[in-house]
Homo-oligomer: A and B are copies of this chain.
Amino acid sequence: MTISDIAKMAGVSPAAVSRYLNDGYVSEEKREKIKEAIEKTGYVPSRQAQILRTKRTKIVGVIIPKIDSDSISRVVAGISEQLLEEDYQLLLANTENDIKNEIKYLKTFKQSFVDGVILIATAITDEHRKVIKSLKIPVVAVGQKVDFISSIYHDDYGAAYAMTAKIIEKGHKNIAFIGVPDWDAAVGVDRLRGFKDCLADNKLKFNSDWLKIGMFDMDNGYENAKKLMKMKKKPDAIFCATDTIAMGAIHCLNELKVKVPKDVAVCGIGNGKTVRVMEPPLTTADYYYRESGKEGARMILEKIENPKSPVMATMLGFEIIERESL
């Protein structure tokens, strides 16, 4: 079934059928005939041929470091929701945390296979910069603030600051921090900065022995909480940069029979799906991950429709969720 077949059946030209399908610049009687022919045959235009002509795939590529992560899968859910609504499709590129794959996908997309790309990256290197600039299609970043492309990110500094203030408000003065490396600008840098600044503003001194850095997993929380509890001078609160880390930390504390929050308070950031059933339920900050995905999708769509729309940066807020671990 091609457009010509339909044209023949309806006794019109292929061009008329095309117009019927698109602009709709066609007389009433022919419109009828064409409609009939299409309905009878169940004809559907070939996407590929359309794409070849129009140069638009109505697909957006989404590059992520991993999919089996609570926060990322929520962002993807948001993207997917918005895209579905706008009748776009979602090509998922999972880099498995390998920056080489990230560049590879970016280059693959360069062949204008997709109309735009949403990049959920933990770090933007010079190579990213270079490759992205060489692309002819728009790119937006979600989860990190990037200067040369539009981005949508969370108020990492603010959330960390507010959370720290909450810890202090609860009467804790000896606060440890378990975080991630500083190659992650959002989680590794901003959250730590918010923490330190709040400490300083409250005239509490930052104890670098209590600053522990590890990866984005529960082990980081578990191992570092253990180390913290082995020190002669122990903290009475632990601020974990992510919920996952916090879960590991609480698990460790429970094993050590350290009472949370009485002996040591714990909090995280992210409001992961399962943290409310921890023992005790985790105090954390909700980050509207899903919303950030939706907004990212809106942004890239806007860029696609209107390529010269200005670069913009949107910061999403947060909400402290008080539960019992703090």
Chain A residues close to B by CB (< 8 Å): 44, 46-49, 51-52, 57, 59, 62, 66-70, 73-74, 76-77, 80-81, 84, 89-94, 96, 101, 108, 110-111, 113, 218, 247-248, 250-251, 254, 272-274, 276-279, 290
Contacts and interface: CB of A to CB of B under 8 A. Distances in A.
Given A218-B277, A247-B274, A254-B279, A77 B90 contact: no
Copies in the complex: 2
A76 B184 CA distance: 25
Contacts of A274: 218, 247, 272, 274
A101 B59 CA distance: 17
Nearest to A251: B277
Contacts of A273: 68
A76 B84 contact: no
Given A90-B91, A218-B277, A277-B218, A67 B80 contact: yes
A295 B43 CA distance: 35
Nearest to A59: B91
Nearest to A134: B42
Contacts of A90: 91-94
A285 to B, nearest CB: 18
Contacts of A272: 274
10 contacts: A47-B113, A48-B48, A48-B113, A68-B70, A68-B73, A68-B273, A84-B94, A89-B108, A251-B279, A279-B279
Nearest to A45: B111
A276 B274 CA distance: 12
B101 A84 contact: yes
Nearest to A243: B274
Given A51-B48, A74-B68, A91-B91, A277 B278 contact: yes
A90 B48 CA distance: 17
